[in-house]
A and B are shown apart, each in its own frame.
Chain A
Amino acid sequence: MTLSRLAFFRAGGSALPGYRLSLTLTLAWTGFFIILPLSTLLVYPWQGGPAAMLSALHDSRMLAALWTSFSCAGIAAACNIPFGFLLAWALARGHLPGRRLADALIDLPLALPTAVSGITLATLYGPHGWLGAVLAEFGISVSYNKTGIVLALMFVGLPFVVRAVEPVLRNLPQELEEAAHLLGARPWQVFMRVIAAPVLPALITGFGLAFARGIGEYGSVIFIAGNQPFKSEIAPLLIVVRLQEFDYPGATAIALVLLCVSLLSLALIGGVRRRFALWSEPA
């Protein structure tokens, strides 16, 4: 690095004041609140030696819980794609009556504290709840099994899909659809080639965000899930159980897996976004 570049970086590449002070404070704050706590996750599982870590990862109850979390989060995010697309379309292009109210309601799952969503969904879909009683008529039992987990995660993940797709639909030039029409495309051809194709990256982004949120979700799931080991026990709950047993290495091993998977899915979203940047940026 040449001297002039060194001087450039020393001043933060700008003539503004406060560079050193604000950088020092920011580094100190992130150091204590992000780097120090997260480094425990990387180091703690290995403190008992690699053998202990490997045996912790082979725990069958843990694998079952991880599978429950990943499969339910995946199914919930996938189910949210058609509903999320429908709502995004209605909001962005469908001239939905009561659009502003609907728009505010979409964000409700994000605003509702998770413990509140948890007890509410458990009651709502419980055997005597408004929706649970109706579903029971059709022989669908929701509470205390994986269906309940999927429903809770769908509720929590819906805004991510809608909010990912909506701006893309809004920015999509309507002329393209008209042009395709004039060129003789059938309605489903217009949909698949002119609408669905550019929206696909946004759908993948929404799916990934909902999935990443779903695998870590705790409060809105535990009340409806029933929490039976090997059946309806989610990974975050097993962390809590392990902590109550004072099995800290066991808890940390699960946490590390969760962290890696959610970071991986977010990295994949980043990749998709960069690859298909064309329509995803607001015009």
Chain B
Amino acid sequence: MTRYLVWGASWLFILLVLVTPPAMVLTEALKDGLAASLATLSDPDAQSAIWLTLRVSVVAVVLNTIFGILAAWVLVKFRFPGRQFLQILVELPLSISPVVSGLVWLLLFGAQGWFGPLLERWNIHIAFAVPGIILATLFVTLPYVVRTVMPVMEVQGRDAEEAAVLAGAGFWQVLWHVTLPGVRGALLSGVLLTTARALGEFGAVSVVSGHIPGETETMPLHIENLYNGYQSVAAFTMAALLAFMAMSAVLLRSAPDWIARLQEKKA
């Protein structure tokens, strides 16, 4: 009896709170039919927003993956004073408001910022331009690869690496042939989480972007712009596309499991 009550209440809650939002996105996007919503995506400002989001995400994912591997390696495989402090620093962006994560870059590179006037003289634009968007995205996505890779590296221990060193392998060889193959799954997971966050980042990017349609508007910012301009179909179509991209990145993390299960079935 109690069991059925728990089941009913749980699914009712899930349906009302978690299933309605994505259902609403699709209904609103398709309100005027599929053709009408697809047409909104061919708008030049929409296209520019999609490309900017993809470009920024690729840069953020590549750089933070390289950094994440090195940081996890140094934090797990070595012992040095200040190691725990460094680990806290690396995870800090997770507990900072997105708006604050954008603000700090304005305080550095904005017109009133520390380095703003200097950059002005050299005619370099970071705040309210694409470099600022990239910096803010790099900041908010910095912890993900480190956090997912570290625990697996920890379990791995150092025996295999030490054996490789004794056999004459150098740093890059050890990293590439011994350490990374062992953390493949976690690395993929971290990269995909970084991707999802980079695609969808709104608050931090909003502060540094300057909101110039066709130039510094990413997909989330363009969604805001369309929604506030009462272009509901266009806003929700873009929202559906962005949600699809971010959610597939999150779901793809289980891809290795699916592949393993398929292979098991075949065998």
B246's nearest neighbour on chain A, judged by CB, is A113
Assess the B74–A102 pair: CB atoms within 8 A. no
Overall SS of chain B's interface: helix
Assess the A212–B93 pair: CB atoms within 8 A. no
A121–B243 alpha-carbon span in the complex (Å): 14
A49–B131 alpha-carbon span in the complex (Å): 31
Assess the B7–A94 pair: CB atoms within 8 A. yes
**Which chain A residues border B158 with CB–CB below 8 Å?**
14, 16
Assess the A25–B67 pair: CB atoms within 8 A. yes
A112–B239 alpha-carbon span in the complex (Å): 10
B16-53 CB contacts (< 8 Å) to partner A: 16-22, 24-25, 28
How many residues on chain B are close to A (CB under 8 Å)?
85
Of A9, A83, A112, chain B has the most CB atoms within 10 Å of the CB of: A112
**Which chain A residues border B100 with CB–CB below 8 Å?**
41, 216, 236, 239, 255, 258-259
Assess the B70–A120 pair: CB atoms within 8 A. no
A248–B113 alpha-carbon span in the complex (Å): 9
**Which chain A residues border B103 with CB–CB below 8 Å?**
41, 239, 243, 251-252, 255
Binding stretch for chain B, among A85-93, A137-145, A175-183: A85-93
Assess the B243–A14 pair: CB atoms within 8 A. no
How many residues on chain A are close to B (CB under 8 Å)?
85
Assess the B14–A258 pair: CB atoms within 8 A. no
A181–B198 alpha-carbon span in the complex (Å): 50
A114-142 CB contacts (< 8 Å) to partner B: 114-121, 123-124, 129-131
Assess the A40–B97 pair: CB atoms within 8 A. no
Binding stretch for chain B, among A196-204, A217-225, A271-279: A217-225
Q: In the complex where A131-B20, A240-B206, A243-B207 touch, is A13 in contact with B80 (Cβ < 8 A)?
A: yes
Residue A51 at the chain B interface, CB threshold 8 Å: no
**Which chain A residues border B110 with CB–CB below 8 Å?**
248
B124-163 CB contacts (< 8 Å) to partner A: 138-139, 142, 158, 161-162
Binding stretch for chain B, among A28-36, A55-63, A164-172: A28-36
A18–B174 alpha-carbon span in the complex (Å): 9
**Which chain B residues border A83 with CB–CB below 8 Å?**
13, 17
**Which chain B residues border A22 with CB–CB below 8 Å?**
70-71, 73-74, 171
A4-54 CB contacts (< 8 Å) to partner B: 9, 12-19, 21-23, 25-27, 29-30, 33-38, 40-41, 44
A246–B103 alpha-carbon span in the complex (Å): 12
**Which chain A residues border B114 with CB–CB below 8 Å?**
40
A96–B14 alpha-carbon span in the complex (Å): 12
A87–B44 alpha-carbon span in the complex (Å): 44
A residues adjacent to B (C-beta < 8 A)? 9, 12-19, 21-23, 25-27, 29-30, 33-38, 40-41, 44, 83, 86-87, 89-90, 94-98, 102, 104-121, 123-124, 129-131, 154-155, 158, 212, 215-219, 223, 236-237, 239-240, 243, 246, 248, 251-252, 255, 258-259, 262-263, 266
Task: Give 19 new A-B contacts, CB below 8 A, not counting A18-B171, A21-B171, A90-B7.
Answer: A12-B77, A14-B158, A17-B174, A34-B90, A37-B104, A40-B114, A86-B10, A94-B3, A102-B14, A108-B18, A112-B22, A113-B242, A115-B239, A119-B224, A120-B22, A120-B24, A236-B98, A236-B100, A248-B106
